[in-house]
Amino acid sequence: MVERISIPDLLNEDRIIKICAPMVRYSRRAFRMLVRKYGCDLAYTPMIISNSFAQSKQCRDNEFQPHELDRPLVVQFAASNAKDFADATEIVFPDVDGVGLNCGCPQRWAMAEGYGAKLIKNPELVRDIIKTTRNRIPSNDFSISVKIRILETEEGTVDMCRQFESAGASYIAVHGRTTKERNQPPHYDIIKSIKDSVDIPVVANGGIKTPHDIERIHEITGVNGVMVAQGLLNNPAMFGGYEKTPVQCIEDWLSVTEQFETIFQHFHNHLIYMQKYTTPKWEKQVFNNLKHKKDILDYLSLKYEL
Ligand SMILES: Cc1cc2nc3c(=O)[nH]c(=O)nc-3n(C[C@H](O)[C@H](O)[C@H](O)COP(=O)(O)O)c2cc1C
């Protein structure tokens, strides 16, 4: 067991902590290792359904392969009750630094199962999940956090966050949009109000696309950390100060995926994202249709002289 890193202590350092967001299909181990090379301080797994994880070895083997270099790490679970979340947490406890409860996924299937953003409609249930899990885990250093979307009102959102704090949440990650909002600018003013109203660390998420955005949103909100999803897919080197994916980062992806097994589809999809802003449309059509790793490697070696 690698020594555990206290995530609240990390978030309380006197600098902006940079976090790779949970992303279904994408924030898997090889990608986490890539963004860590470029200054990512903390990474999340994709959302994992807690009861499948607790009950199925196949699910565990597919979704979770701990590695001593892949730290600090938060495993994000979807849960609709305290038992499922606590059972899943007990399994990952020896190998990671914390777990996060998904209280933000707005997809219809997830809400219908009682997961994701359904939970912000029932803060009492979230409190129960946090408290039950805290009582089961024999370490105060182990982080139990929530990732939320904001509610329709500022008062309601702040009150909800205070409730999660008093239940024992280690920190709160806030996607500054409501469940109904998609691409509109996030409400950073509400994230600031949350930060001003609780004593635990707060992380800002939503709409951070460039290194400049990191500074700007930190300044507006005063948060402890920033969390990025889409911006890191398009440019995994963003936390290192790069405006767009440098060729070195593409080369790093090739070596990371040699070391950490990655299925072809993920290997290819990440390269498609990384080259989104550096490849003309006609060339994208060619690249996106490549079907074999060898063809991709030949293409990259020709284009970038790798
Ligand atoms: C491909 C993709 C997959 C995502 N999967 C998850 C997930 O598993 N859990 C979660 O809480 N949010 C998930 N999200 C939402 C992001 O974590 C984040 O909250 C949202 O994209 C806003 O941040 P951004 O503007 O930096 O992209 C996903 C987003 C994307 C683009």
Residue 201 in domain: yes
Shared domain check, 251 and 227: no
- For ligand 1, the distance from its centroid to the CA atom of residue 46, given in whole angstroms, is 9
Nearest residue (CA) to ligand 1, atom 16? 229
* pLDDT of residue 106 exceeding 70: yes
Residue 240 in domain: no
Nearest residue (CA) to ligand 1, atom 15? 23
Which tokens is 175 given?
């996607």
- State the Cα–Cα distance between residues 91 and 95, nearest whole angstrom: 9
Residue 62 in domain: yes
Shared domain check, 259 and 131: no
Residue 168 in domain: yes
What CATH number does residue 128 fall under? Answer: 3.20.20.70
Cβ atoms 21, 227 nearer than 8 A: yes
Q: How confident is the model at residue 186 (pLDDT cuts 50, 70, 90)?
A: very high
Which tokens is 88 given?
């899943």
Residue 242 in domain: no
* pLDDT of residue 41 exceeding 80: yes
Q: How confident is the model at residue 2 (pLDDT cuts 50, 70, 90)?
A: confident
Q: Which of 19, 20, 23, 77 to mutate to test the pocket of ligand 1 (most atoms within 8 A of CB)?
A: 23
- For ligand 1, the distance from its centroid to the CA atom of residue 229, given in whole angstroms, is 5
Shared domain check, 218 and 93: yes
Q: Provide the pLDDT for residue 144.
A: 98
Nearest to 99 by CA among 113, 107, 88, 110: 88
- For ligand 1, the distance from its centroid to the CA atom of residue 22, given in whole angstroms, is 6
- State the Cα–Cα distance between residues 241 and 266, nearest whole angstrom: 25
- State the Cα–Cα distance between residues 235 and 149, nearest whole angstrom: 24
Protein residues whose CB sits closer than 6 Å to any atom of ligand 1:
21-24, 26, 46-47, 76, 102, 104-105, 147, 175, 205-208, 228-231
Residue 1 in domain: no
Shared domain check, 187 and 260: no
Shared domain check, 276 and 148: no
pTM of the model: 0.98
Instruction: Examine the fold and report which residue of 209, 235, 261 is the final residue of a domain before the chain moves on.
Output: 235
* pLDDT of residue 306 exceeding 90: no
∠ CA(19), CA(170), CA(225), 5° rounding? Answer: 25
Shared domain check, 231 and 259: no
Phi, psi (rounded to 5 degrees) for 69? -85, -15
Average pLDDT, the chain: 97
Cβ atoms 254, 306 nearer than 8 A: yes
Shared domain check, 179 and 286: no
Shared domain check, 295 and 201: no
Q: Provide the pLDDT for residue 10.
A: 98
- State the Cα–Cα distance between residues 41 and 72, nearest whole angstrom: 7
Cβ atoms 31, 252 nearer than 8 A: no
Nearest residue (CA) to ligand 1, atom 4? 23
- For ligand 1, the distance from its centroid to the CA atom of residue 116, given in whole angstroms, is 12
∠ CA(100), CA(187), CA(12), 5° rounding? Answer: 45
Instruction: Examine the fold and report which residue of 194, 212, 235 is the final residue of a domain before the chain moves on.
Output: 235
What's the number of domains the chain is made of? 2
Shared domain check, 190 and 105: yes
Could you report the per-residue pLDDT of 56-100, keeping only the tens digit for each?
Answer: 999 999 999 999 999 999 999 999 999 999 999 999 999 999 999
Shared domain check, 251 and 230: no
* pLDDT of residue 1 exceeding 80: no
- State the Cα–Cα distance between residues 180 and 149, nearest whole angstrom: 10
- State the Cα–Cα distance between residues 51 and 124, nearest whole angstrom: 20
Residue 112 in domain: yes
**Residue 193 Cα to chain centre, angstroms:** 22
Could you report the per-residue pLDDT of 234-287, keeping only the tens digit for each?
Answer: 999 999 999 999 999 999 999 999 999 999 999 999 999 999 999 999 999 999
Residue 241 in domain: no
- For ligand 1, the distance from its centroid to the CA atom of residue 21, given in whole angstroms, is 6
Instruction: Examine the fold and report which residue of 235, 257, 276 is the final residue of a domain before the chain moves on.
Output: 235
Shared domain check, 71 and 161: yes
Q: Ligand 1, closest atom to CA 228?
A: 26
Instruction: Report, as residue numbers or ranges, the catalytic residues.
Output: 105
Nearest residue (CA) to ligand 1, atom 30? 23
Domain that holds residue 289: 247-304
Per-residue pLDDT averaged across 34-62, rounded? 98
Shared domain check, 297 and 185: no
Q: Ligand 1, closest atom to CA 102?
A: 11
Cβ atoms 144, 98 nearer than 8 A: yes
